Amino acid sequence: MTPTGQTEDGPRHIAIIMDGNGRWAKARGRPRVFGHQQGVEAVRAVVRAGGDLGVNCLTLYGFSTENWRRPHEEVDALFGLLRRFVDADLESLAADGVRVRILGRREGLSDDIIEIIERAERRTADNSAFSLNIAFNYGGRDEIVRAARRIAAEVASGELSADAIDEDVFAEHLDSHGLPDPDLVIRTSGEQRLSNFLPWQTAYAELVFVDVLWPDFDRAHLENAIGEFRRRRRRFGGVDGS
């Protein structure tokens, strides 16, 4: 898990929209839940490969605020997968130096899910070899609104001056505070949109859309996406110096 292939020109932080579990299952005549189960195996493979390929921060879109509209049985299954993933993988992740963080709204989650989230974060809080972030009950606009409310409360209480608010101050009030912005965003399944995923943080990220369903995404696909990233010139709003 510890990064072994660190390179200067490769992405250090990759964010992935894991799309296509349901379509993968449907193509095999299986329920959508089966696709989500196989998607967890793809998560494990990508976390392992990421460290080997020089990535030291990985953020995965696990459950959006819009996913509550899905059938009750599917939502319950997604929550169950989070429980099983933490129960099965937490100790090995901790031993490998991985820090786990969960991004997203916690209000409205059941007490047992909050306990699982807090246990994972507490157990790995001192690790620094690799950062694994799971966006769960997450919506980008919701994150920005919650950050704005926190800032407004600090201004109202006198803790913060309105004149002191800048991009850095705002970023410190986001769920992702302390994390670098993603260099590369990958979306699987062929869809080409961000779907409310990290809109603030991905302002200058490179986007790669992969026409493969998430359960089939593997190390080779990750390597190809990183290769595409390396072929691009990042100007961050400036001009090409060549």
**So which residues are the catalytic ones?**
19, 67
Residue 158: Cβ within 10 Å count: 7
d(C-alpha 231, C-alpha 164), whole Å: 38
d(C-alpha 114, C-alpha 106), whole Å: 7
- 């690790």: which residue's tokens? 127
- Sort 224 into a burial class: Cβ within 10 Å, 0-12 / 13-18 / 19+: middle
* Type of residue numbered 96: D
Closest CA to 41 of 96, 92, 104, 88: 88
d(C-alpha 232, C-alpha 23), whole Å: 31
Closest CA to 148 of 135, 134, 165, 161: 165
d(C-alpha 217, C-alpha 221), whole Å: 6
